[in-house]
Structure 1
Amino acid sequence: MNFKYVCLLVMLLVAGNSQLWAQDSLAVYVQQAIKNNPKVHADFVAYQASLQRVIPAGALPDPELGFSFYLKPMEQVNGKEIGTLSLMQMFPWFGTLKAAKSEMSWMAKASYEKFRESSLDVIFNVQSQWYQLNSIQARLTNIRENIKLLKSLEEIATYRYKSPGVKGGSIGSSAYSPGSSAAAQASPGMSVSTSGGMAGMGGASSVSATSSSTPASMGGNMSSSSMSGSNGSMSDVLRIQIERAELENTLETTQSQYTATLASFNALLGRSSATAVIIPDSLMQKPFIANDSAAWVTVVAQNPMLAMWKAESASYEAKGEMAKKMGYPMIGIGVEYMINGKKPVDMNSMSTMDNMNGMDMIMPMVKFTLPIYRKKYKAQIKESKLMKQSAELQYQNIQNELEASFVAINLRIVDASRKMALYQKQRLLTQTTLELMLREFAASSVSLTDVLQVQRELLGYSLKQVETVVEYNTAVAEFEKIIARSDFILNK
């Protein structure tokens, strides 16, 4: 089987499997990883090498050709013997070659399953790293939006500090006009981005803090309240600057994390670590059919690790049968050709054998081996039985681990689904609370500490929601790995 053919088959099946891949770019990256990943190449070449061991295992041993000659021809009754030419073919006991070929065939099958497992590992790792890139990008977007929000709050706090004696009515009209852009940012134009996963869960990518009529209403609210020098202080401005500096540092740290994850992702694709990756604005939730009663049966039937140990067990069984057959005699069939020359004939003593003088002779031969040293054959048979038992125990161990993973993954998927709904609700409620508190903050009804606390909670819920989508998709990808649902090998 050609590796290019396998890669082409991957591309066709991955491109046509819309249920498996929710993002077109992810499917492209999986194709590149399968095509370029050296681990997949290495296991495929090892599988091809194992196929080459099947043919010689079932072949007969090479025939033996012998030639001998006399330096001085030896006189015999029928002439002078010059030399002999012999040909011998050995035949193992009946069924020995079949057992040897069966052993190598099962070993090739095990190597094939290892190739399948490495392919599934690469597919899962590409998905996992790609979801991590989505999560980090969403985190970066949220942090940047949060910094914008703090800048808007800083402008408002600075304006309030510099205008301690301005009454609400004047602020609502001409006196507040210099900071109108800040007010617009703090209220109607100020939004907290939830890109990186909200669109896939029914949430909007951004929600405006107020409607377009908010500036007038906020001005009315501010006119109704008297703003004295106590309404703003330099400490509020400094606290906002401290908060912003911390977020800017977090932004740089998160950017470094993105660079490291990007390098790992590109390594899976076998390309330069600095190669750019296209990340969509929204992360879609992978489709998943819950409560699949036949899923565990499918895992047992298709999982490559289980299939590998099953093939290993069958190969050791065939090896034991071969060792048993090797304990029986081997049969050799051959022929010997004797080359004779004529010897001088005494006319006075001619006999009936003289007509055979110088005649070459042909002699059929049969040969048997005598396997009398039984300990080595018994040891080989016992070794095969023990190795078969070891393979069966490995199979049982892998099955137990898969069963535990199967249950844990399904619970993770259910838990992630529940948390997605919770964070969506909490995010929307917190965003509404923040909108109201921004109006009250502009009217000096609430403190800056309360606004910052709610704003941090909103950021936390937004990030948790995106990370929950990543957790959900990663769990689904791991489920597809153990069930081999995304395994293109099964479709060939």
Structure 2
Amino acid sequence: MKYIKSNIKIVFALCSLCFVLTAQSQELETLIDVALNNNPEIQKFELQYKRASEKVNEVNTIPNTEFGVGYFVSEPETRTGAQRFKVSAKQMLPWFGTITSRENYVSSLADVKYEDIVITKRRLMASVSQSYYNLYANKEKRKVITENIKLLETYETLALTSVQVGKASAVDVLRLQMRQNEMQQIKDVLSQQFLAEQTNLNNLLNRENDISVTIVDELNMPTVDFEVDVENLALHPELLKYDKLFQSIEQSELLNQKESSPMIGFGLDYINVSERPDMNFSDNGKDIVMPMVSVSIPIFNKKYKSQTKQNELEQQEITAKKQERLNTLETLLSKAINERISTRISYATQTKNLKQAKDAEDILIKSYETGTIDFNDVLDIQELQLKFQISQIESVKSYYVQSTIINYLTN
């Protein structure tokens, strides 16, 4: 049942994480699915959960039955004959409900391990998504730089023509060529960074590092932000884990109370008796059978009182840790929401700046027709355009990364 609930959570989270993708690509959702199936950290926690669950069978036992055999080296004589050997059996039983308390305690520890699985899956989905968006931004930056290199080549052709008619100097041509070289360097560096990020993503998916990743062609800035339900933060698995820990301490205390109760033992002694050869009576050589009942009372119970005090202190510690983590998550959520608003503002500003830079570029091109083009201005405008384009790409990437963080915290 828990695994079914987990799958429902995962599907819901996947839909939330992938809401921003265009209809042409389901690549991110596919990558997340591969990561959830292959990631060794998830497999580790699943094995730990199964092992913790199996411990329920381990504690569902009673103490070992004690057997004893004794042989009388010097046979004591009784009225009915000499005692030859003794056989005894004894079974101690815990107080009523003790075994159930042990099972409940172990089950509560397994529940804590289960929350580790849910947390790890959420974090993995967020990490895969963020890595994917980093790859997208890198690809878009290289695309923009390639376009700018082609634009510089066009300007270089114009500059060469101007040099031939005496309207520009060779220095202008060299400046344009140096700018192309600089652009090519940036593009080459981005290509290496892409490979490094692709390796990171493949490691998250636990597959070969050189497997290429298909990136969506375009991510647009959504016109409307999806609604954020801040109240869902209280149900985040990182916080639920502390609740499960608190409950496990409660079960530990119930078990402690049960173990401080007496233990009842039942036993049986059998003594073999030899017949007396010199006498003849009805009980001659009659064996002895003696049922026994015993009670084990923990008179010196400082151990259990100390455990109770430790449980109380541990519950207080867990409560403080939960509050501390809640404060941290609230800060992260608030920061992510505000960052997403900021990225939308930045994107709108860069869009306006790009339009104005394009208008300035058109004016410069028209100036070339009248023979008054200034290639220093051309380089300045081209540099501004590139800056605005890169900032716009970063704004889009940041929007989706912050949306991923919000989804991690609230879904």
CA–CA distance in 1 between the matches of 2:295 and 2:222?
67
Is the aligned partner of 1:298 residue 2:225? no
**Residue 271 of structure 2 corresponds to which residue in structure 1?**
338
Is the aligned partner of 1:140 residue 2:142? yes
Q: Aligned runs of 1:186-197 on 2, under 5 Å?
A: none
CA–CA distance in 1 between the matches of 2:335 and 2:16?
26
Which residue of 359, 380, 398 maps to 1:453? Answer: 380
In the alignment, structure 1 segments of 5+ residues that lack a partner are 165-228, 348-353, 486-492
Q: Which runs of 4+ in 1 moved over 6 A?
A: none
**Residue 219 of structure 2 corresponds to which residue in structure 1?**
283
Is the aligned partner of 1:256 residue 2:198? no
- CA deviation vs aligned residue, 1:449-488 (integer Å, no higher than 9, x gap): 21222222222222211211111111111111122x2xxx
Cα pair distance change 1:18/1:410, threshold 3 Å: closer
Is the aligned partner of 1:388 residue 2:390? no
Cα pair distance change 1:480/1:345, threshold 3 Å: farther
TM-score by length of 2: 0.90
CA–CA distance in 2 between the matches of 1:281 and 1:6?
34
TM-aligned CA deviation for residue 291 of structure 1: 5.0
CA–CA distance in 2 between the matches of 1:287 and 1:429?
22
Instruction: Look up the SS of the partner of 1:422 in the other structure.
Output: helix
Q: Is the 8 A contact 2:16 2:407 kept in 1?
A: no
TM-aligned CA deviation for residue 438 of structure 1: 2.1
Q: Determine which structure has more spread, i.e. the larger CA radius of gyration.
A: 1
**Residue 441 of structure 1 corresponds to which residue in structure 2?**
368
CA–CA distance in 2 between the matches of 1:133 and 1:363?
81
Q: Is the 8 A contact 2:14 2:29 kept in 1?
A: no
TM-score by length of 1: 0.76
TM-aligned CA deviation for residue 326 of structure 1: 2.3
CA–CA distance in 2 between the matches of 1:392 and 1:18?
30
**Residue 214 of structure 1 corresponds to which residue in structure 2?**
none
TM-aligned CA deviation for residue 373 of structure 1: 2.1
**Partner amino acid for 1:314?**
Q
Q: Aligned runs of 1:172-211 on 2, under 5 Å?
A: none
TM-aligned CA deviation for residue 140 of structure 1: 0.7
Q: Aligned runs of 1:328-407 on 2, under 5 Å?
A: 328-347=261-280, 354-407=281-334
Is the aligned partner of 1:475 residue 2:409? no
TM-aligned CA deviation for residue 272 of structure 1: 1.6
Which residue of 146, 156, 180 maps to 1:154? Answer: 156
Which residue of 270, 276, 281 maps to 2:206? Answer: 270
Q: Aligned runs of 1:235-254 on 2, under 5 Å?
A: 235-254=171-190
Is the aligned partner of 1:465 residue 2:401? no
Which residue of 251, 261, 270 maps to 1:318? Answer: 251
Cα pair distance change 1:18/1:310, threshold 3 Å: closer
Instruction: Look up the SS of the partner of 2:64 in the other structure.
Output: coil
Instruction: Look up the SS of the partner of 2:282 in the other structure.
Output: helix
**Partner amino acid for 1:36?**
N
Moved more, 378-387 or 80-89: 80-89
**Residue 225 of structure 1 corresponds to which residue in structure 2?**
none
**Partner amino acid for 1:31?**
D
Moved more, 264-273 or 129-138: 264-273
**Partner amino acid for 1:137?**
K
CA–CA distance in 2 between the matches of 1:296 and 1:15?
15
**Residue 351 of structure 1 corresponds to which residue in structure 2?**
none
**Residue 52 of structure 2 corresponds to which residue in structure 1?**
50
**Partner amino acid for 1:70?**
F
In the alignment, structure 2 segments of 5+ residues that lack a partner are none
Instruction: Look up the SS of the partner of 1:425 in the other structure.
Output: helix
**Partner amino acid for 2:300?**
Y
Cα pair distance change 1:243/1:16, threshold 3 Å: closer
Moved more, 14-23 or 64-73: 14-23
TM-aligned CA deviation for residue 151 of structure 1: 0.8
**Residue 409 of structure 1 corresponds to which residue in structure 2?**
336
- CA deviation vs aligned residue, 1:40-86 (integer Å, no higher than 9, x gap): 11111111111112233343223323333334654433334333333
Q: Is the 8 A contact 1:93 1:329 kept in 2?
A: yes
